[in-house]
Amino acid sequence: MLRAGMHDLQSAILSWYARARRDLPWRRTRDPYAILVSEVMLQQTQVPRVVPRYEAWLQRWPDAAGLAAASPGDVLREWIGLGYNGRALRLRDACAVVARDGWPRSARELETLPGVGPYTSAAVASFAFGEQVAAVDTNVARVVARIGRGAPRDLLPAGAAGDWNQAMMELGATICRARSVACDSCPAATWCASAGRAVAPPRREAARQPFEEMNRFVRGRILAALAAGEPLPAGIEAARLERALESLLRDGLVRRTAAGLALG
Spatial contact of 261 and 225, defined as CB atoms under 8 Å apart? no
Distance CA 156, CA 251 (A): 39
**39 an active-site residue?**
yes
Q: What b-and-e string marks burial along 86-109, b requiring 16 or more CB atoms within 10 Å of the CB?
A: ebbbebbbbbbbbbeeebbeebee
Distance CA 234, CA 256 (A): 19
Distance CA 55, CA 38 (A): 10
Spatial contact of 213 and 38, defined as CB atoms under 8 Å apart? no
Spatial contact of 164 and 156, defined as CB atoms under 8 Å apart? yes
Q: Residues, the chain, total?
A: 264
Q: Which of 39, 78, 131, 170 is catalytic?
A: 39
Spatial contact of 252 and 258, defined as CB atoms under 8 Å apart? no
Report, as residue numbers or ranges, the catalytic residues.
39
